[in-house]
Every structure is written in C-alpha cells, then in structure tokens.
C-alpha cells in the first residue's frame, strides 16, 4: 500500500549528513507500524517524506500506486489532503475553533456540505471518546483530550494512512497508554493503517511491526505486540 524505494534525504552541516539513507520499507494496508530510534536518527524526516511534506534527494515514495516523484506540488498537496492524516506531538489545533470545528477543518476542502461535515466530525469525536466536549476550545481541554481531537481531525477525510510523529511525547504515562489504545482500536476495528514515530516503547505492544532506525538507516525490523495478528480490512471510521 505504501512503500519507499532507496529513499535518501541529506543535509549539509559542515559535512553531508544523511537523515534518511537508502531506506526501503513496505507497509501493508491495515498494518500498524511503529518506527523507533534515538533522537537525530531520522525518524521524523522519514515520516515527513512518507507524508509528502518534504521531498527526497533520491529514491521514491509510492502510496496506492502513485509515485511522489511524478507529482507536482499540487499533486503532493492532494495526497496530503485526501490520502494521509497527520498527528503531531504538539497537537496543532486552531485555538479559536471548537473541537468540532477543528475536526471539520480538513473537510472544508473536500466539497462536503456543512451538515455532512458536522455529522462526520461528531462521529469521529465520539469514536475517540470526546463527543461530550465537542463545543470546547483547545485551551479548555487537557493535553490528552487535545490529542484525541487531533486524531479525529487526522481521520476526517478517510485517509489511506495516518502518520503520527511522537503523538505521546507531550503526555503522561496514563494518557499515553490511552492514546495508544485509541490507535489500536481504530486499527483493529476499522482497519486504519498507522505509521507512528515514537520514543515510547509501550506503543510497540499495539504494533504489528517495529522498525528500528539509526543514522538514517533501518537496522532491524522486529515484531510488535501484534506480530502474527491478521490485518483488518479497512472500513470507514
């Protein structure tokens, strides 16, 4: 469903540093993959390349048969809008919008009517356990609640894959576990594909595979807590 081919991304800091160095990775539909490695190992850079937020120096990303290297900037924007959902460490919610309005925001570019957007957003907030707080603004929500809103927003346009960059990095242990369980339930019940970058080893128990990265290279791929579990066919959340 998503794969990389000899993917490379470098930066020049007095010398050439390969943040992503000849990475070949395939993630199947309905899979939950966690990417782990020390700070500076290239995890977040790889995730940015997978999501079309940045372009590599060489190699390619292929999502659903579309090669990113063949796409214009408008084409990549379409991929980000329709095929990829993003969850970030710092939530990135719009402060003056309610939880419901934040979840509706990505749908405004998809041609849906207001009623349809509202119903979809309410459904997603219910799924992440935040339906009762739909009219609250981000500053009225805890960190864990804000991340739940961010997860619902990432699912708004029914993406092929959700990319999460350190989604529990700002949360306490209990809340981190709750977020991991939300990912797991969406993966198990809805067949949602997840690729999660994290320092948090507890997330590995929800994963089918754990990809270990060091100095921009994949050093090892191990089974997560769900190794051997069958992949769930995708369904609309």
pLDDT digits (tens, 9 = 90+) for 112-143: 899 999 999 999 999 999 999 999 999 999 99
Q: Considering the domain boundaries, does residue 237 fall inside one?
A: no
Q: Residue 98's pLDDT band (boundaries 50, 70, 90)? A: very high
Q: How many angstroms separate the first and last alpha carbons of the chain? A: 19
CATH of residue 22's domain is: 3.40.50.300
Domain boundary among 157, 188, 203: 157
Rounded distance, CA 164 to CA 195, Å?
Answer: 6
Q: Considering the domain boundaries, does residue 216 fall inside one?
A: yes
Which parts of 78-156 are beta strand (E)? 84-88
- Residue 107 and residue 120 in contact, taking contact as beta carbons nearer than 8 Å: yes
Q: Are residues 51 and 115 in the same domain?
A: no
For residue 100, give the H/E element and its range. Answer: helix 99-104
Is the pTM higher than 0.75? yes
pLDDT digits (tens, 9 = 90+) for 10-35: 988 888 889 999 999 999 999 999 99
Rounded distance, CA 235 to CA 237, Å?
Answer: 6
């Amino acid at each position: 469903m998503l794969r990389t081919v000899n993917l490379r991304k470098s930066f020049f800091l007095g010398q050439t540093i390969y943040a992503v160095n000849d990475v070949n990775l395939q993630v199947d539909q309905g899979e939950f993959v966690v990417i782990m490695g020390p700070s500076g190992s290239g995890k977040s850079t790889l995730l940015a390349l997978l999501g079309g937020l940045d372009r590599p120096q060489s190699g390619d990303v292929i999502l659903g048969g579309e090669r990113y290297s063949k796409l214009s900037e408008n084409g990549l924007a379409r991929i980000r809008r329709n095929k990829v959902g993003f969850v970030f460490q710092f939530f990135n919610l719009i402060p003056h919008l309610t939880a419901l309005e934040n979840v509706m925001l990505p749908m405004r570019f998809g041609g849906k009517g207001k009623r349809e957007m509202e119903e979809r957003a309410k459904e997603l907030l219910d799924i992440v356990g935040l339906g009762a707080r739909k009219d609250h603004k981000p500053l009225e929500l805890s960190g864990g609640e804000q991340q739940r809103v961010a997860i619902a927003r990432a699912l708004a346009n029914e993406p092929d894959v959700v990319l999460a960059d350190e989604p529990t990095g700002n949360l306490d242990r209990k809340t981190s576990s709750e977020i991991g369980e939300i990912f797991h339930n969406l993966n198990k019940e809805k067949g949602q594909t997840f690729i999660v970058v994290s320092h948090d080893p507890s997330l590995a128990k929800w994963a089918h595979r754990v990809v270990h990265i060091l100095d921009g290279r994949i050093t090892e791929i191990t089974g997560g807590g769900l190794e051997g579990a069958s992949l769930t066919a995708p369904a609309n959340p």
